[in-house]
Structure 1
């Protein structure tokens, strides 16, 4: 195959699709609905609202799909790891069935839109396999297959072939899908009004303040991955963020499905037009002090695909709700005209469509059979408590770390490494580059004040509490923080 890629920290989707730029907000506007965030969830929501006759705009701080959407592996699936047997146990069979049917409906909706709009985006229906290489996991997968099938998903336990390593078995989810997300959004975003380069600074009731003017909107939709308004809603206390890593290999042999491992250090695989996506090494944002995530993936690529070459690499960030169910719907009982889409775990494509469907129906006064389960005001005690306690502990440790953790001296920091350093009476997050130059920024996240952790895999400062990320000069990379971390 002729190579048209070069390895860089940029997704294969961004390397193969150019989205035309849009103008910023031209000034003050009044609209019926305003969507904050032009990723998959935001564009889909605006598109579905517009089809219902709603006057809607999308406000984007950067460019369309410049956030997490461009870094997805773009699997559209109701196969979300081992989840259905746990949902049945913790929430009951009825709610578990609602979750299953909602995600199946989202898959069908993608096919309907792509067919109606005639979008060329590599959309294809394929089985999705949840596999294991561990004998001890086989029973769990067999139980997951039984649970998913009982809830109405065409799923069964099977043996799989075609991977370069042995497996002990897998759950096959039939009729799932994959596509090129930016090719899809390139077409769909042309159908709606998007203002790029327009950062939202503040939202109060129906008024949105941006760096290019104000927007008065009857309905406000927060589709910015992680909600940046802390109160009401308190989403910062109800989810944390995880990171995962992907290599793209030039690989001409097509896989007959999508593959996701339930094992601790397992690999995720999918094929797309001469390229193989090899993913894994997930961890909580801010909790990978030793790094090496890309190196471990490179070792796996060398072992299993020795004739392939790495042509791209990238990472993604996911919001992880305590009860494993996304938050979709009204932001708060105190803001019934605000709506939110967050907490997608690692299944952002399916959840984005589901969010658009639910929020469209709520704004238009239509009944939606899935809205109650995904309601942001819910609290499933049994399902949420373990993760809630873990997140509270992580926040307590990070907020008090300055009192108990002794920082390095600048002289002790090695070149090419980062660490918390005391200079005078203050603590700084510092990175010493290969030339010995010290890059200083605040040790505290501007979001809620947690101490940052060095991410050696990407040379960034990450917040272990809520997932904000900054480069080593303090420039903002990922929210919920709304500003950089310079001191």
Structure 2
């Protein structure tokens, strides 16, 4: 069974060279995902010299793991925005995301390659309480969003109510990304080690630039900005099944056990199982999605399964704009929640406007320099509490397992010589032992049984069982010591 997304399995992009020398340019963009490539595309269109640096390959981060719904319907967001931000900023948010959809639609129409754009409606649905949908509908009306309540959907089960947003879309994310990146200078396999003032230092050369954009999912530069105190990360899971049915539109369930759904050709994508990265969960999200698939699409074989990681901000609004007041020439795009397609396009719109010295219609609501007492203080202390708990666990928490008690395929925290380690035993009996201390800021890693990884509950860094980095903000691997307990040798 594939552990890659169905997008990765269906298309591949051309190889790009690494940096290899020191260069100068107007703008350097860190991150070759949708946000970074779109920003570069708009800058090139405006005649601004720019380059993109990517630690791996174009689209190898979160872009390949999206379900690629292009929608301004971001869960139950608009009633909350009206309450926390007021009418004008809520309108900015709604209009920015509506314009993002139109930009995708227009670009898909002019690109030479078929990027599989499909116009469709987007639905929130509930099988339980309709009151939340009613309030979200009223909020959407106030903001001028074309929406209506309905009980009719193409889902194979009854819903109490659904909220339909019209003129939304879906796309093949990698086909689109590769197509718009064709005429952009991208250096792949070029890992950024640090950024100092106007210099981006990589493992294969330095880049001096007037403007620097952090479009790398999670802004790894801790100071200034302190984004690690202003966000957390969440995991979510996707199952693709081969289904003969037709699902009109894209769907997002607002109930606790609701699932996300969209169709791609003969495949149906089911998403769900969200939880904070590093949180120990009960049950297997893939098993739950398989149960849903078996119940409503019996006999349909599984084609792929994969997971994604999302940055979640304090007030549920992305951080897009100036990185910090002390670095007016640095910019950031992060915190898209679970709506990376429109978040990426909005980022490209705002950041290209700022770099080109054009007035942005939407910069205020997304500004990373904001701090709202009412909506941010509680979440800020919650994030601080998670970090403190992770550090305390590292300092004083008891180990979870005994090395000799680990079963094949099992991992856990052990103690040896007065120090704690993370250990994983493979099916052949080899044990992979790593430091359980996250190299980012020192929190204790938590074993993720579902994905066989070590995850940080503080800031969301992840590592495979060999200690190899999977997700930022950590910028380095963890050393691994391999033991063969059958022979007692290293």
- TM-score, normalised via structure 2 length: 0.96
CA distance in 1, matches of 2:280, 2:140: 33
Partner SS for 1:191: coil
Partner of 2:444: 451
DSSP 3-state at the match of 1:444: coil
1:33 partner SS: strand
Whether the aligned pair in 2 keeps the contact of 1:239 and 1:319 (CA below 8 Å) is yes
Show structure 1 runs of 5+ residues with no match: 1-6
CA distance in 1, matches of 2:248, 2:455: 37
Contact persistence 1:431–1:440 (CA under 8 A): yes
Cα separation, 1, equivalents of 2:164 and 2:281: 35
Which residue of the partner structure matches residue 140 of structure 1? 132
One of 455, 460, 466 as aligned partner of 1:473: 466
Pick from 117, 128, 134: which aligns with 2:122?
Answer: 128
- Residue 165 of structure 2: aligned partner: 173
What is the distance in 1 between the residues matched to 2:152 and 2:404? 54
Q: Unaligned 5+ residue runs, structure 2? A: 481-490
For residues 340-419 of structure 1, what are the structure 2 equivalents within 5 Å?
340-407=332-399, 408-419=401-412
Q: Which residue of 2 aligns with 1:433?
A: 426
Question: Does the aligned pair in 2 maintain the 1:248–1:277 contact within 8 Å?
Answer: yes
Provide the rounded CA distance (Å) in 1 between the counterparts of 2:237 and 2:152.
24
Task: Tell me whether 1:67 sits opposite 2:61 in the alignment.
Answer: yes
State how far apart, in whole Å, the 2-side matches of 1:298 and 1:110 are. 32
Residues in 1 aligned to 2:226 and 2:155: alpha-carbon distance in whole angstroms: 43
Distance 1:309 1:112 in 2: 35
For 2:291 and 2:278, how far apart are their aligned partners in 1? 23
The secondary structure found in structure 2 opposite 1:198 is coil
1:18 Cα deviation from its structure 2 partner: 1.0
- Which one of the candidate residues 269, 276, 297 is aligned to 2:268? 276
Superimposed CA distance per residue, residues 267-316 of structure 1 (whole angstroms, 9 cap, x where no aligned partner): 10000111100110000001134451111111111111112110011000
Choose the corresponding residue for 1:55, options 49, 52, 55: 49
**Aligned to 1:339, what secondary structure does the other structure show?**
strand
Between the aligned partners of 2:199 and 2:262, the Cα distance in structure 1 is: 43
- Say whether 1:288 aligns with 2:294: no
Query: Secondary structure of the equivalent of 2:177?
Result: helix
Contact 1:290 / 1:456 at 8 angstroms: preserved in 2? no
After superposition, the CA RMSD in angstroms is: 1.1
Is 2:309 the partner of 1:317?
yes
CA distance in 1, matches of 2:340, 2:282: 28
SS of residue in 1 equivalent to 2:130:
helix
Alignment partners' CA distance in 1, 2:333 and 2:413: 34
1:83-94 paired onto structure 2 within 5 Å: 83-94=77-88
**Of residues 238, 245, 260 in structure 1, which corresponds to 2:237?**
245
2 CA distance for matches of 1:127 and 1:370? Answer: 24
Q: Deviations over 1:416-462 (max 9, x none)?
A: 21111101111101112222321111111101111101111100000
In 1: Cα distance, 2:363 partner to 2:281 partner? 39
Quote the Cα distance in structure 1 between the aligned partners of 2:215 and 2:384.
25
1:463 partnered with 2:440: no
Q: In structure 1, how many angstroms separate the alpha carbons of the residues matched to 2:164 and 2:408?
A: 48
TM-score of the pair, normalised by structure 1: 0.97
SS of aligned partner of 1:66: coil
Structure 1 distance, partners of 2:343, 2:196, is 27
User: What are the Cα deviations for residues 17-68 of structure 1, in whole angstroms up to 9, with x where unaligned?
Assistant: 1111111113110001000000000000000001111110000010000000
Aligned residues: 479
> CA–CA distance in 1 between the matches of 2:449 and 2:298?
26
Question: Is 1:291–1:455's contact at 8 Å kept on the other side of the alignment?
Answer: no
Residue 35 of structure 2 is matched in structure 1 by 41
Task: Quote the offset at 1:94 in angstroms.
Answer: 1.4
Q: CA contact under 8 A between 1:146 and 1:156: conserved in structure 2?
A: no
Correspondence for 2:13:
19
Q: How far does residue 146 in structure 1 lie from its aligned partner after superposition?
A: 1.1
Distance 1:381 1:78 in 2: 26
Displacement after TM superposition at 1:373 (Å): 0.8
